[in-house]
Chains A and B, each alone.
Chain A
Amino acid sequence: MLDFFNSNETIHFIITVGSMLLFTIGLYGIFTQKNLVKVLISFDIMESALFLFFIGLHYNFGLVAPIVDGSDKTFTNMVDPVPQAMILTTIVIGLAVLALGLSFGIEYFRLTGINDISKMNELRD
């Protein structure tokens, strides 16, 4: 009976639903949260959801990590390395943007004492 969980369809279904749930949580956070730090965290949650989705859907049962060890020197039966490399790149970019956003927030808070994005409304018509 538990073989049901060992099929690609099941695991892909679970990953899709789970990551989209996480994506929704992030989206909800962006809509509702006022605190800049929480908004940035929501972005991070959304990004993580995408990473899970992408990496998860590229995993099939029976495949191993794309690294050869001493004994078997052929690159067969391995998961696709390109999505992993792309996600590695995207993680670093996400981290860079998050850190930059936090530094903007710190400096703005030092100047004005505001960390609520709905109160950042000096710029208007």
Chain B
Amino acid sequence: MNLKKEFRLKHIVLSLLSSALMLSILGLLSHVKTNLHKTVGDIVLSLNMQTATANAVTSVVTFFRGIDTVGEVTVLFLATTGIALMLSSTQRTYKKVVHQESFILDIGSKMLLNVIVLFGVYVIVHGHLSPGGGFQGGVVIATAFLLLFLANPNMKLKHSILTLGESLSGAAYVLIAIISLFKINILLGNFLPHPVSQIGELVSGGIIPIIYIIVGIKVGSEMSVIVEYFVKEDYLKEVPHA
């Protein structure tokens, strides 16, 4: 009883406190201007025709703020490395899960895998023409592997291939930046031909679709690794206590 009272009092006080804080921030936010003219975004929109990319968000992500994306890919890489550091070790053994081999589940998941991966590849390749791109498509591909894990808990991914994918695509991204420095003297510049007349076609935008494909490979392989580590945690053989 006593515990319950204390619990309730603390929660009431804290909720009042956070509400008061938010109300004061809300009061301040009423001074925020919302109809800005001449933002960086407007300049970007007016310049965007030169990049020959139909999707302006893609050109911002991969070109105008390209180094942000290198950093972002690096953050994801670091997180994957950290998760691998935590959740993989030589002492860990996974138990073989006895699962009933269901013909429909088996075939169905494998058929769906192809469709999902195809959709992911479509989203990645059309990143500069339609909503979507490397990050979104990469996550779509990772969900295909999640489906496989759910259908068959004993499945294993080939880590050497995934490591190859993430390392080489990451290195390729940085190499593109450096090649650009030698070709047009600007890091991460658009050194491939990108005539404006091609806008809206599959091959357009110079390096922008190439970068998004690289990002797609990297995000796809990294997210698959993350998914595998978290799914496999369910099937650990023993939980040693220190």
Contact = CB atoms under 8 A, between A and B. Distances in A.
B83 A99 contact: yes
B215 to A, nearest CB: 10
Contacts of B30: 16
B241 A111 contact: yes
Contacts of A85: 57, 60-61, 64-65, 68
Interface in B139-189: none
B45 interface: yes
A84 B57 contact: yes
B46 A75 contact: yes
Interface string A19-44: 01101100110011000000000000
B55 A66 contact: yes
B16 to A, nearest CB: 10
B111 interface: no
Interface residues of A, number: 52
Nearest to A53: B29
B57 A96 contact: no
B29 to A, nearest CB: 6
Interface in A78-125: 78, 80-86, 88-89, 92-93, 95-97, 99-100, 102-104, 106-107, 110-113
B9 to A, nearest CB: 12
Interface string B229-242: 11001001001111
Contact of A92 (B75, B199, B240): B75
B86 interface: yes
A80 B39 contact: yes
Contacts of B236: 110
18 contacts: A8-B34, A16-B32, A20-B25, A23-B22, A31-B18, A67-B55, A78-B45, A78-B56, A80-B45, A85-B60, A88-B135, A89-B65, A93-B72, A106-B86, A107-B86, A111-B241, A112-B241, A112-B242
Interface of B: 10-11, 14-15, 17-19, 21-22, 25-26, 29-30, 32, 34-35, 39-42, 44-46, 48-49, 54-57, 59-61, 64-65, 68-69, 72, 75-76, 78-79, 82-83, 86-87, 129-131, 135, 199-200, 226, 229-230, 233, 236, 239-242
Given A75-B45, A92-B76, 16 more contacts: A12-B34, A24-B21, A24-B22, A27-B21, A66-B48, A66-B57, A67-B54, A68-B200, A81-B59, A82-B40, A85-B65, A86-B65, A93-B75, A103-B82, A111-B242, A112-B241
